[in-house]
């Protein structure tokens, strides 16, 4: 039997930090409200493109696995933030890494994109289509956030992380998955203004309206993640006390606590990053996984439960059995370009574009795919 072991991991967090107090300088909100309702204190705002964040995370994951970019068979770019629609973003990462053999796929199931990517790549390895894969979760939500809407603007952040999967005959990597979509509620989370439906209208990329029914999503998220976790554990013949670690999607601390309580798993076995990074959509799970590894909280042979949900409303719960190695084989020297602005300055640039006279974002975007190479 073939399995898909997780052999490398790496994150790339943009350095600029946007605090709750920064948000309160232009929104009718308070640090107290944000902290008590969400658990969030700060989030990151990127000064570079999503493809650059993804490529640096990918280079770090490859070095960790000791795998040369030239040996990568498959790149999955999981996320809802694409620099362009065509060419796709995974091919941009491929160029930056120098991975000529790879097949490159963009996969968008909103916040669950990394998890669906992990399931897809695992299936492709287990069926022999590819031998190794780079799976990335990445978001650059700050560029299409409606910064005038306090219901959503306080919740999200930017970031990226990646893992390397390699064919193995030991039973490790993803050993179970429940995937689904509560499509009847898809209108509860909608970003209007980006996509073909808006072509020809006099709007620029940053002009978005977010339809976001927070309380409805909250309830459905807790229910879907809890039920999917029960099902994936039952299918694997495991009980909650056999789960060593939970690495959940990070949308709200109260959602995470509710899912853990339903599963009967104490919070000291749950990885939480939402206070530092907010909701990074597809990037939350891989970033939390990388931080768990760096903090030595992943043990050899450990069982990890990964519940997630997002726009669609897609949901899932994955079960991963970790292998023997919990330390990196190598380190990449890939770095982002230096950031010379504060997070608030970066946000204010996007906000300026959202005025009724709609200036273009052209000045803000760093040149996309200047064929920067971050790989070996
Ligand atoms: O990853 C997938 C996407 N993420 C999610 O789906 C998150 C799911 N939902 C949630 O996390 C929570 O529902 C929220 C954090 C979004 C909202 O928390 P809530 O406890 O459900 O609050 P609420 O929406 O019921 O709003 C309560 C009040 C409202 O005022 P009124 O109508 O009671 O006077 C809001 O207008 O809080 C107000 N409010 C705010 N006040 C200060 C909403 N946003 C803010 C804000 N600052 N940023």
pLDDT tens per residue across all 376 residues of the chain: 999 999 999 999 999 999 999 999 999 999 999 999 999 999 999 999 999 999 999 999 999 999 999 999 999 999 999 999 999 999 999 999 999 999 999 999 999 999 999 999 999 999 999 999 999 999 999 999 999 999 999 999 999 999 999 999 999 999 999 999 999 999 999 999 888 888 877 776 668 899 999 999 999 999 999 999 999 999 999 999 999 999 999 999 999 999 999 999 999 999 999 999 999 999 999 999 999 999 999 999 999 999 999 999 999 999 999 999 999 999 999 999 999 999 999 999 989 877 544 434 434 444 444 445 665 4
Sign of CA dihedral 158, 164, 169, 170: negative
Each domain of the chain, given as residue ranges in start order, spans 3-365
**Distance from Cα 97 to the centre of ligand 1, integer Å:** 40
In this structure, are strands 245-246 and 74-78 parallel, antiparallel, or unpaired? unpaired
Sign of CA dihedral 320, 323, 327, 330: negative
Q: What is the pLDDT of residue 194?
A: 87
How many angstroms separate the alpha carbon of residue 41 from the centre of ligand 1?
15
pLDDT of residue 363: 40
Q: Give, for ligand 1, the residue of 108, 214, 284, 311 to mutate: max count of ligand atoms closer than 8 Å to Cβ.
A: 214
Could you say which of 111, 115, 181, 316 is catalytic?
A: 111
* Homologous superfamily in CATH for domain 3-365: Thiolase/Chalcone synthase (3.40.47.10)
253 C-alpha to ligand 1 centroid (Å)? 13
Q: Is 249 a catalytic residue?
A: yes
Tell me the chain's radius of gyration from C-alpha atoms: 19
String of DSSP letters for 127-168? TTS-SEEEEEEEE-GGGT--TT-HHHHTTB--EEEEEEEEEE
> What is the pLDDT, as a whole number, of residue 358?
40
Say what the pLDDT of residue 355 is.
Answer: 55
Tell me which of 132, 279, 316, 353 is the catalytic residue. Answer: 279
Residue 111 CA: which ligand 1 atom is closest? 1
* pLDDT score of 61: 98
> Can 21 be counted among the known catalytic residues?
no
């Amino acid at each position: 039997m073939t399995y898909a072991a997780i052999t490398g991991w790496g994150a790339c967090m943009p350095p600029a930090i946007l605090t709750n107090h920064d948000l309160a300088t232009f929104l009718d909100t308070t640090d107290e409200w944000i902290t008590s309702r969400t658990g969030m204190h700060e989030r990151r705002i990127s000064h570079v493109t999503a493809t650059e964040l993804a490529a640096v995370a990918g280079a770090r994951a490859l070095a960790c696995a000791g795998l040369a970019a030239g040996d990568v068979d498959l790149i999955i770019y999981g996320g809802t933030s694409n620099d362009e629609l065509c060419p796709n973003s995974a091919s941009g990462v491929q160029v930056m890494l120098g991975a000529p053999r790879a097949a490159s796929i963009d996969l968008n199931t909103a916040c669950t994109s990394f998890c669906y990517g992990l399931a897809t790549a695992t299936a492709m390895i287990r069926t022999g289509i590819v031998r190794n894969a780079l799976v990335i979760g990445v978001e650059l939500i700050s560029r299409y956030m409606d910064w005038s809407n306090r219901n959503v603007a306080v919740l999200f952040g930017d970031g990226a992380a990646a893992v390397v999967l390699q064919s193995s005959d030991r039973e490790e990597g993803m050993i179970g998955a429940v995937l689904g979509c509560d499509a009847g509620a898809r209108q509860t989370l909608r970003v209007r203004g980006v996509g073909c439906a808006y072509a020809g209208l006099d709007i620029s990329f940053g002009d978005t309206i977010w339809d976001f029914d927070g309380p409805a999503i909250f309830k459905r998220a807790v229910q879907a993640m809890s039920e999917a976790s029960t099902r994936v554990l039952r299918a694997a013949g495991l009980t909650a006390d056999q789960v060593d670690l939970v690495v959940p999607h990070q949308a709200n601390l109260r959602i995470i606590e509710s899912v853990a309580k339903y599963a009967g798993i104490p919070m000291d076995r749950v990885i939480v990053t939402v206070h530092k990074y907010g909701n990074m959509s597809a990037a939350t799970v891989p970033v939390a996984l990388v931080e768990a590894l760096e903090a030595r909280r992943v043990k050899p042979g450990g069982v990890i439960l990964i519940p997630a949900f997002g726009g669609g409303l897609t949901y899932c719960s994955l079960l991963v059995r970790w292998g023997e190695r919990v330390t990196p084989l190598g380190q990449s020297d890939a770095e982002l370009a230096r950031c010379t602005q504060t997070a608030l300055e970066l946000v204010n640039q996007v906000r300026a574009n959202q005025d009724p006279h709609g200036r273009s974002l052209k000045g803000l975007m760093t040149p996309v795919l200047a064929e920067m190479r971050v790989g070996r």
